[in-house]
Structure 1
Amino acid sequence: MATTKRRFSFFNASMYAILTVAAAVVLIPTFWMVSTAFKSNEEVMVSPPAWIPDHPTFDSFIRIWKDYPFLDYFLNSVLVVVASTVITIVFSALAGYGASRFKFRGKGTFLSFLLVTQMFPSIMLLIPFYKVLKTFGLIDSQWGLIVVYIAFAIPMCTWMMLGFFQGIPRELDEAAMIDGCSQIRTFVQIILPLSLPGLAATAIYSFLIGWNEYMFAFILVTTETLKTLPVGIGQLNGYYKVVWNDMMAASIISSLPLIVLFLFMQKYFISSLTAGAVKQ
């Protein structure tokens, strides 16, 4: 009995040690980012660097709005990412519901194809996407980026929604149809409200893909007023000078929408983590 307790205590201590290291790996860079954002230009170049600025200042936060077209970058990202997220949720929900409720020829091949598309690195798709968008005149436009982000997110989001819809008993569909509901009405009024955790998880996943994407936004958009936030932050890294405090301030502001999104959808997102854990 004593040996079992010692093993259990050693296991707990090991897990706490691993979690402490993992938390430090995440929190230390975050703390350094926040600390640098509140430093003046002189304090940024001090050696050895200080963890806590001697004279905290908001100059960096003021400069990124005043000296750079940061507002344009921010609004462009919001427009592109929100539009792609909404469209992704609509189509992935419809595709996931159809795959969970109907049998059709090639269903397994279709679902496998969606997974296979996630196996290739995105850089392999850069030239094909560029050629397709150029054919349709969508290069250097926000609609082009929206199409790209939708194409990236829909395969995985469809599988996510498929899993949630499969956890909803089909008897609910049958009962609704007996009461006179059409298939679409059953989907909208009965199934979708029950799948809110899945929709929240899908929305967060799609939003993260678009909000943090840099490479395609950098290549496909060249007009300064159409660039997104990651590209704008990257441009703070100049040829001859890197304004670290401005870059860190911009990074903090760019992370705020993700924090707000998670706070508002936290209840549904946490529910999605345990969905399907208990067999109905």
Structure 2
Amino acid sequence: MSRRRKVRATTAVAQFGAVAWSVLAAVPFVLIVLLAFKSSTDIYSNPLGVVGVDWNLQNFADAWNGPPGGQGFAVYLFNSGVVAIIAISGCVLVGAITAYFATLSSPRVRTVVIRGFLVATTLPLIMLLIPYYSAFNSLDLLSRPWATGIVYVAICLPTCVLILHSFYLGFPGELREAASLDGLGPVQTFVRIVLPLSKGPIVAVGMVNGFFVWGETQLAIVLLQDPESRTIPVGLLDFQGQFSANTGAIFAGLTMATIPLIALYLVFNRSIAKGVALGGVFR
């Protein structure tokens, strides 16, 4: 087989793998949208059917109005926005500063810092539930979305630092030297030179952590107990009762909650791909 044929065969296999992976990733969302338009009876009796189905648009109205005794979807959306904005902005800011100045440290210090964040990524979230609940309860911070957002900053920080650290390792030293000759200190160089050139990786880590925060439920259930403080995933759980459940409204709410994520991804998909490609895990 000639070299050109080998390249074509390799390219075809890679393209097939990419298409297959895309289909597998899209299937869950397609199923959620399909089930959002079905009645609870059809969801259980004919989940994949599209013929002879009782299509129920009331699911979206129920999801928007909220479960009985709960709040409306607009309240959950606002709380999720508060949590996500605080988590993403805090994580990106602290992570960028930590990752950049770690690269300016000695190799021994840098290794200790990065390995510490690597260890932090291995901690299961369930181990932190009781300590966080005890701390929030003693400080009277339960059911406060902004405080929960700060917790997510700490949880997402290791991933943010690891990706940005690898990017900053390859940052051109000539730019820092030129900034130093112009009279800029390390902090001014970081703010005026490094940050503007870090748009791709910063957007990437912000979106990756934003997806996690937007759909995280385990910690939010513990810290956001009042109905008016709940985020979208926790609020939709109120449709699930002990003896009955409005399953269609749950899928409708999940569909509406996914729309902002899809819109953001379509806007920043190039920056996400570029940022993930530039940033590794550890060097």
User: Do the aligned residues in 2 keep the contact of 1:167 with 1:276 (CA within 8 Å)?
Assistant: no
User: Do the aligned residues in 2 keep the contact of 1:237 with 1:243 (CA within 8 Å)?
Assistant: yes
Tell me whether 16-25 or 144-153 shows the greater mean CA deviation.
16-25
Structure 1 residue 145 corresponds to structure 2 residue 148:
yes
Which residue of 111, 116, 120 maps to 2:114?
111
Q: Corresponding residue for 1:181?
A: 184
Which residue of 78, 83, 94 maps to 1:80?
83
How far, CA to CA, are the matches of 2:40 and 2:215 in structure 1?
A: 27
Q: CA distance change for structure 1 residues 173 and 217 in 2, over 3 Å: closer, same or farther?
A: same
Question: After superposition, what is the alpha-carbon deviation per residue over 1:48-69, rounded to whole angstroms, capped at 9, x for unaligned?
Answer: 7523575645322122222442
Q: What is the 5 A alignment of 1:236-247?
A: 236-247=239-250
How far, CA to CA, are the matches of 2:193 and 2:217 in structure 1?
A: 38
Cα distance, 1:136 vs. partner?
2.8
Question: After superposition, what is the alpha-carbon deviation per residue over 1:138-191, rounded to whole angstroms, capped at 9, x for unaligned?
Answer: 223223311220111111101111111112111101101111222222111111
What is the alpha-carbon root mean square deviation over aligned residues? 2.9
Which residue of 250, 256, 259 maps to 2:253?
250
Q: Corresponding residue for 1:90?
A: 93
Cα distance, 1:118 vs. partner?
0.9
Question: After superposition, what is the alpha-carbon deviation per residue over 1:98-142, rounded to whole angstroms, capped at 9, x for unaligned?
Answer: 011233874322221111011121101111222232333322322
User: Do the aligned residues in 1 keep the contact of 2:201 with 2:279 (CA within 8 Å)?
Assistant: no
User: Do the aligned residues in 2 keep the contact of 1:198 with 1:272 (CA within 8 Å)?
Assistant: yes
Question: After superposition, what is the alpha-carbon deviation per residue over 1:4-59, rounded to whole angstroms, capped at 9, x for unaligned?
Answer: 969975x7776666556544433333222212212345644655752357564532
Q: Corresponding residue for 1:61?
A: 60
Query: Match for 1:25: what amino acid?
Result: L
Q: CA distance change for structure 1 residues 79 and 24 in 2, over 3 Å: closer, same or farther?
A: same
User: Do the aligned residues in 2 keep the contact of 1:149 with 1:209 (CA within 8 Å)?
Assistant: no
Q: Corresponding residue for 1:33?
A: 32
Query: Match for 1:119: what amino acid?
Result: T
Cα distance, 1:276 vs. partner?
6.9
SS in 2 for 1:39: coil
How far, CA to CA, are the matches of 1:32 and 1:154 in structure 2?
A: 32
Could you list the runs of 5+ residues in structure 1 that have no partner in the other structure?
none
SS in 2 for 1:240: coil
Cα distance, 1:256 vs. partner?
1.2
How far, CA to CA, are the matches of 1:34 and 1:88 in structure 2?
A: 31
SS in 2 for 1:139: coil
Could you list the runs of 5+ residues in structure 2 that have no partner in the other structure?
none
Q: What is the TM-score of this pair, normalised by structure 2? A: 0.85
Cα distance, 1:247 vs. partner?
1.1
Q: CA distance change for structure 1 residues 200 and 20 in 2, over 3 Å: closer, same or farther?
A: closer
Q: CA distance change for structure 1 residues 100 and 7 in 2, over 3 Å: closer, same or farther?
A: closer
User: Do the aligned residues in 1 keep the contact of 2:82 with 2:149 (CA within 8 Å)?
Assistant: no
How far, CA to CA, are the matches of 1:193 and 1:86 in structure 2?
A: 15
Identity, % of aligned positions:
26
Q: Corresponding residue for 2:138?
A: 135
Which residue of 221, 225, 237 maps to 1:222?
225
Q: What is the TM-score of this pair, normalised by structure 1? A: 0.86
Q: Corresponding residue for 2:49?
A: 50
* Number of residue pairs matched by the alignment: 276
How far, CA to CA, are the matches of 1:225 and 1:52 in structure 2?
A: 39
